[in-house]
Amino acid sequence: MNGSYPVIAPVVEGHGEERALQGLLHRLVPHLHEGAYADIQQPYRLPRDRMLRPDHLAQALTVVTARRPSPTAVLVLLDADDDCAVELSARVRDLARESHGHVPLTAIVAVREFEAWFLAGASGLAGHMGLPHDLVPPPDPEAVRGAKEWLSDRMPPGITYRPPAHQPSFAQRFDLEAARAGAPSFDKFCREVARLLG
């Protein structure tokens, strides 16, 4: 522990998450624990295929754990796509343990994709960046195959959802509690962040 607060080093797979996750965590920490603070470091981007290779994951963990202040925990975030989120999370943890077993690490896998969390908290995005004012979540957000397309279909004609452009803004606005209720993988993410806060 550095000082009296946690230091979290995120590792993400996409350019969008690279820009969005730091802001989401800054928003989420005081939401989970009023008055809480954590030093959220700049996410390290590691494409999904490399994240699942021991040498590349080990290299990423070496880089982030060498930062100052020294991280108290590493948070790995990736999309399940069509894989089982539970199995994929365990696989990443096992790979990390091979080279950095001494590092506190949690691996969170968004079911389908990160944007499923936006769908679950869609009421918070109503009227934002051209989305309809009456925007409501789909019945089962994590079952939607193509959450990015779901968002694009509800944007004005000619506008397409693009993760690097939209994720940082959406991450600041989607309804956190509705997302926890509608997307179990986001609830898992919140519980893990709360655990890292101590």
Model confidence at 198, pLDDT cuts 50, 70, 90, reads confident
- Would 183 be classed as within a structural domain? yes
pLDDT tens by residue, 107-138: 999 999 999 999 999 999 999 999 999 999 99
Residue given tokens 């990736």 in the structure block = 78
Model confidence at 1, pLDDT cuts 50, 70, 90, reads very low
Percent of the chain with pLDDT over 90: 97
Given a cut of 50, whether residue 173 has pLDDT beyond it is: yes
Residue given tokens 């960046």 in the structure block = 129
Helices (H), the chain: 15-32, 48-51, 54-65, 85-100, 115-120, 147-153, 163-171, 176-182, 184-197
| Over residues 182-186, mean pLDDT | 98
- Would 164 be classed as within a structural domain? yes
- Would 2 be classed as within a structural domain? no
- As to burial, measured by CB atoms within 10 angstroms (0-12 exposed, 13-18 middle, 19+ buried), residue 163 is buried
pLDDT tens by residue, 84-100: 999 999 999 999 999 99
Which range (3-7, 76-80, 86-90, 140-144) has the least confidence? 3-7
- As to burial, measured by CB atoms within 10 angstroms (0-12 exposed, 13-18 middle, 19+ buried), residue 157 is exposed
- Would 44 be classed as within a structural domain? yes
- pTM here is 0.95
Angle between helices 184-197 and 15-32 (to 10 degrees): 60
- Would 1 be classed as within a structural domain? no
Q: Cβ distance 173 to 128 under 8 Å?
A: yes
Residue given tokens 């694009």 in the structure block = 152
Given a cut of 80, whether residue 148 has pLDDT beyond it is: yes
- Would 83 be classed as within a structural domain? yes
Domain holding 133, by residue range, is 7-197
The residues with which 103 forms a beta bridge, in sequence order, are none
pLDDT tens by residue, 23-62: 999 999 999 999 999 999 999 999 999 999 999 999 999 9
- Which residues, 6 or more positions from 35, have their beta carbon under 8 angstroms from its beta carbon? none
- Would 79 be classed as within a structural domain? yes
Mean pLDDT of the chain: 96
- Would 185 be classed as within a structural domain? yes
- As to burial, measured by CB atoms within 10 angstroms (0-12 exposed, 13-18 middle, 19+ buried), residue 44 is middle
Residue 69, preceding bond cis, omega within 30 degrees? yes
Question: What is the gyration radius of the CA atoms in the chain, in angstroms?
Answer: 16
State the total domains in the chain.
Answer: 1
Which amino acid, 4?
A: S
| Over residues 139-162, mean pLDDT | 96
Model confidence at 9, pLDDT cuts 50, 70, 90, reads very high
Q: What is the DSSP string of 133-191?
A: TT----SSGGG-S-HHHHHHHTSPTT----HHHHHHHHHTTS-HHHHHHH-HHHHHHHH
Given a cut of 60, whether residue 2 has pLDDT beyond it is: no
